[in-house]
A and B are shown apart, each in its own frame.
Chain A
Amino acid sequence: MSAEAKQDVAAETTERRINMIEAINEALDIMLERDPDVIVMGEDVGYFGGVFRCTAGLQEKHGRTRVFDTPISECGIIGVAVGMGAYGLRPVPEIQFADYIYPGLDQLISEAARLRYRSAAEFIAPMTVRSPFGGGIFGGQTHSQSPESLFTHVSGLKTVIPSTPYDAKGLLIAAIEDNDPVIFFEPKRIYNGPFSGFYDRPVEPWKKHPQSVVPEGYYRIPLGKARLVAEGEELTILAYGTMVHVAEAVAKEKGVDADILDLRTLVPLDIEAVEKSVEKTGKCLIVHEATRTSGFGAELSALVTERCFYHLEAPVTRVTGFDTPYPHSLEWAYFPGPVRIGEAIDKILKD
């Protein structure tokens, strides 16, 4: 059964609606239960249950050697996870904010990502590094960054970004079961409910949102498969994380007949879904929150241009954050919101 079909079944049968934090918690709970080799660790994840509560109750249920706090040392957290993976465990380390991942970069880039290759598969690092990322919560320049493109540049790492509770649960389960190291970025702006990008309007909670239906129990969404959020003929919008919701809201408000593709995983990328959509619409808009220069949008733009050039009827266009650090007081001016996206849509449709 396809993920979409499963979702429909769930919508009809259980109607259980939870937020992304709860969905992540459930995925971890299920995997801790199913696989004695799964270990959850990170700053504050144990007794307290994580600063965003993603791991709440897990230590109490699964014990202190399965779910535990760590020293404030991203290098240590990721480094010990590599050793645990080599032993045969499946560690799921949490980096409290993606902005803090940099001290652990060498362990991720040079070690976890390359261990399988350099040892000719004698040793592997089957770990899933979870980390909340992105802005829109007044987190300032050190709690708002979207560093995903750094990781997509590294051979041997998989990069996963969910945009709904349903996907968060199914993708996280798939990531934990994957034998390669995975970076699992959680868009913290939509931890509690979808965000339309209209920051001055009330936020719709997940319980009122159709995507919030999450089945109980185990299911997985394969890595490398995009989700078609909306079907349209005029334009393809490629997005992931929070920006899926913003793009969806803007397209709806403007009445644009757009194919909206939630990429879900950046590496491996669902290139077939991208090609199919762009070949149909002939126009492609890429939306991400990360800074523009060398962002993942640049890669997407190059791929679309290389592979769909003769189908294109307008320049492939990017809407992104600006190339500045995330400014605390001006975060909504930084954020690639409805105005910026709307302007790009107008321009691309005029071409």
Chain B
Amino acid sequence: MADPADKPPRGGDNRPALALHVPEPKSRPGDPVDFSDLDIGEAGSQPRPDEGAHPSEMTGLAYDLIRVLGDDDRAHGPWDPKLDPETLRTMLRHMAMTRAFDERMFRGQRQGKTSFYMKCTGEEATSIATSMALASDDMVFPSYRQQGILIARGYPLIEMINQIYSNKGDKLKGRQLPIMYSSREHSFFSISGNLATQTPQAVGWAMASAIKGDSRIAATWVGEGSTAEGDFHSACTFATVYNAPVILNVINNQWAISSFSGFAGAERTTFAARALGYGLAGLRVDGNDPLACYASQLWAANRARANKGPTLIEYFTYRAEGHSTSDDPSGYRSAQEREDWPLGDPVKRLRDHLIAIGEWDEDRQAAMDKECAEQVKEVTKEAEKNGILGHGLHQPFRTMFEDVFEELPWHLKEQAEQATRERIKKFGEKGPNR
């Protein structure tokens, strides 16, 4: 019989006692922060293989960190996408708008206008720059922190706010948690609260596109924590087996609520290196460098479009804010982390780059930030006319029974009739939201 776990090995037994490793981040609240062990490399020093290259020819890029913007705020090396200033300013504007939007919605939640919100502060490049590298009709299967894609694709802000407020303007009929948008028109797949489920779905969509001889590709976003889900591994297997035209984006923002990336396996290898075991092309990218984000996504999109195969990209970034409005990061991580993050802030880096190349200045930035904040404020006011969560202007209650099936079966009809009776009993024949 084995020894009890809390007792040393039996006498005379010289086998070493086994020990379990439980990962622990390098700093906790109040601790000093040391990021000196991060090998962030020199901007521009990473090779850019041909888009049709075999994954075995680029294994190094799964451990390296693709960077374009250097400390001098200039673009360097073969990954420089050489974007024109107008495109760069558009990218910056989307980022500023996303930040302004996050700011106002966060406040809205604190004011009790909705139940929940999630900011993407510090991660804007991983959704805005990347989606700008895709065609507007490529299908995206996002996770919950890619509001930047909708903003970059021109989805009306008011629709986003209506959804967040679950008000009568909400096209999703108040059924989804705030920020779980869906827009078929903008090729933006409905967001699930169950993590990583969108990854095999994106692969399936890409397979379908290939089966039909379409030219559209799919891309999906998942957090580094969710790469531990079985769905992610199924997605990698199917993607590689069928050479699906899909891009699997992993946003390594270091934290999955309060669990640091070590609990998804980051202590042992990179997330981009997950690609190697599957025979996928794997890239590891500075997620706070908008130009590197754009370039890597474009590389993967061109590869997929040319039937050269799927790509797994890890965007190495930092979640500057809490996980959501329900989270307080000061309870589990050092506040210094955000301050000391060695890859900086993506908005600031792009701004500084535009300034460095003489295409922008501080005043224009200040004016743009102000304009974005005002626009969001205006739209928010407009959306509030449709109601805020719980203030009676929400969706008609009869919609509760719609869309469970294409047609209402008898049991749901009976339940809908019951709901009507209850409603009349409570509010009378002319009650609200019929």
Contact = CB atoms under 8 A, between A and B. Distances in A.
A121 B403 contact: yes
A345 interface: no
Contacts of B404: 116-117, 155-156
Contacts of B235: 76, 79
Q: Contact residue range for chain B?
A: 35 or more
A329 B263 CA distance: 44
Interface stretch (A81-89, A130-138, A161-169, A278-286): A81-89
A89 B406 contact: no
Interface in A20-45: 39
Interface stretch (B47-55, B177-185, B384-392): B177-185
A120 B175 contact: yes
B202 A268 contact: no
Given A83-B202, A86-B205, A107 B184 contact: no
Contacts of A118: 172, 175-176, 180, 182, 190, 192
A312 interface: no
Given A79-B235, A123-B184, A269-B411, A84 B204 contact: yes
B233 to A, nearest CB: 8
Interface in B162-193: 171-173, 175-176, 180, 182-184, 189-190, 192
B234 A123 contact: no
A122 B141 CA distance: 14
B36 interface: no
Given A79-B235, A83-B200, A86-B189, A117 B403 contact: yes
B35 interface: no
A304 to B, nearest CB: 14
Contacts of A106: 194, 197, 231
A80 interface: yes
Contacts of B46: none
A83 B204 contact: yes
B157 to A, nearest CB: 19
B237 interface: yes
Contacts of B427: none
Contact of A84 (B172, B197, B205): B205
Contact of B403 (A80, A120, A158): A120
A76 B194 CA distance: 15
B182 A123 contact: yes
B356 to A, nearest CB: 42
B140 to A, nearest CB: 12
B230 to A, nearest CB: 5
B332 interface: no
B313 interface: no
Nearest to A86: B205
B409 A80 contact: no
Contacts of A116: 403-406
A301 interface: no
A210 interface: no
Nearest to B241: A71
Contacts of A88: 208
Nearest to A124: B406
Interface string B200-215: 1111111111111000
A119 interface: yes
B218 interface: yes
Contact of A107 (B175, B176, B231): B231
30 contacts: A71-B237, A75-B234, A76-B235, A76-B238, A79-B199, A79-B200, A79-B203, A80-B201, A83-B200, A86-B205, A87-B205, A87-B209, A107-B197, A111-B201, A115-B190, A116-B405, A118-B180, A119-B172, A119-B190, A120-B403, A121-B403, A122-B182, A122-B183, A122-B190, A123-B189, A124-B406, A178-B406, A180-B405, A180-B406, A268-B405
